[in-house]
Structure 1
Amino acid sequence: MAALLISPSISSAAAAASSSPTLLFRQNPHHIPSLLSLKPSKRKISKTRPLSISFALAESGSPKSLDQEEALSLFQELADSFRLPSDYFAKLPNDLRIDLNDAAFDLSNGPVVGECGQELGEILLNLSQAWELADTSTSYSIASKLPSLQGSLTNNAKSAFGKRLVSAGRRFEAMGQYGQGELQRIAKAMVKAGKLLSASPITTTDEIPKQEARMLKFGDLQVELTVEKANIGAAIGFVFGVISWQLSQGIQSIPESSLQYANDNALLLAKSLRGALLAMCYSSTVLSGFTALGLVLLGRQLSSEGKSKEE
């Protein structure tokens, strides 16, 4: 009986001993799925990181458009930089006056009205004229109008205006240090505003090439050359030439023998006046004819250029 009683215990112990390695061996594979289960999470992290980095790079690479407050601050800083003594530009040396004229040219050359709009274009033309005349007070009064325009400018106008500001600002930078550094303050404000404005996104449309037009400048007067204006000018020149010709024929029809005056001096003066009037009328006729012919040819050239652009 004892043997029989011991044998079950021994068999149970042997069974326990034989089963324990199996249990230990089975615990290790239970840890393997837990380790493998971490791998998909690592793969998910490795997949999401490049997406977030590329998205951040795309956001940083895209041009940032200025809001209303930033644009107003830039325009106000630009206007305040021209708050100078009333005779500041007039007292500049000759070499700096030349640089100031170059800055005026860079600010308003080309189709400034077509690129920057009617209102801003006229302001830039007037501002450049004030620089050419070295009129400091007028320059500040014109520049002070810029902050009121920042809300009505298109992206194309901002970009064109910014490029002109950068180009003109470089001219002020080339002037170096003068006085209390006013010129460098103007250059800094112009270049800063120009770089930010020129970064505005440009919308290309088919109407942009049509805005380019030839401008004829007579001092303060600017005339846009079109086919209609060229034809009207040719007609006026032709009529004026006919009038001058008729007037010269009327003066020439008066014979010198019919001129009777009290003395020879008065007669000599009348003859010289008659000759001067004839010369003036004939020259006016010739000039009117050439002007009318030139305007007709110009009108045909503008018409052919317009048709080629439409095609």
Structure 2
Amino acid sequence: MASGSLQFLSPLSKFWPSTAPLSHQIGSFTSLKFVTTTSSANNTIHLPKSLAVRFALTESGSPKSIEPDPQPLLQDIVDSFDLPPDYFAQLPRDLRLDLNDAAFDLSNGPILDECGQELGETLLNLSRAWELADTSTSHSLVKKLPLIEAKLTGSAKSALGKRLVSAGRRFQSMGQYGQGEPQKIAKAMIAAGRALSAIATSAVIDEQLKEETRVLKFGELQVEITPDKANIGAVIGFVFGILSWEIAQGIQSIPESSLEYANDNALLLAKSLRGALLALFYSSTFLSAFTSVGLVLLGIQLKSKKN
């Protein structure tokens, strides 16, 4: 009875023990060999190099690329400011200047207008604590950032992100002082700041797209205008304009001399009605043409913005 087996050979297989994990063995496979075993002989079939199989090890449960959550990043800032009570007070003079520069970058400009009342006051107090080299107060104020961030809007998050990145670079310029605490603070602040800026930018883009959405309202009925709908409306308007033109031409082709009525009053009424119908259908033709052109231009504009 014949039996079949699949063997994977690697030039480095002699260096691995037989108990090595399969994932490590698969990672260096460069050739593939099929071995069919019968009771009489072994037949080995080597695949050509062009049919070599490459394996990629991936985690089945790996998450898709998503925007980073700022909460754990802000918590990293809180942890990085967990320093000895006199840490900032013992900084050398040049590093104290860098700390003052970080305080300036954190609170510079119209902070209350950009960040809101609660966050703005917290950042102002934090910058004063840095200027006074008050490590304990600084840590207690930084603890508030994760709670405040959860209530911020897109523009306030963007302002906070920019200020954190700018202040973080000041800490980065301090170099490897002590056990590298300034670099830990800088890394945490820059990472959180960039994450907040990315989230805020995405929110602003979504808001702009919502604002740019064109909507036609007919009483309680609202119709969102898209390039396709605009083009369909232009075609409908064009067809309606042709029909209105044909009807107007049909009415105009009827000579007035062919109108015969019992008296002059009826004849006058018929002529007035004929004139009103001509004005109505010619106006409909003009409006249909104007609407079709407008919808075509609107569709082009919406398509260009979408692209």
Q: TM-score per shorter chain, which class?
A: 0.3 to 0.5
Which structure ranks higher in relative contact order (CA pairs < 8 Å, sequence separation ≥ 6)?
1
Larger Cα Rg: Structure 1 or Structure 2? 1
TM-score by length of 2: 0.44
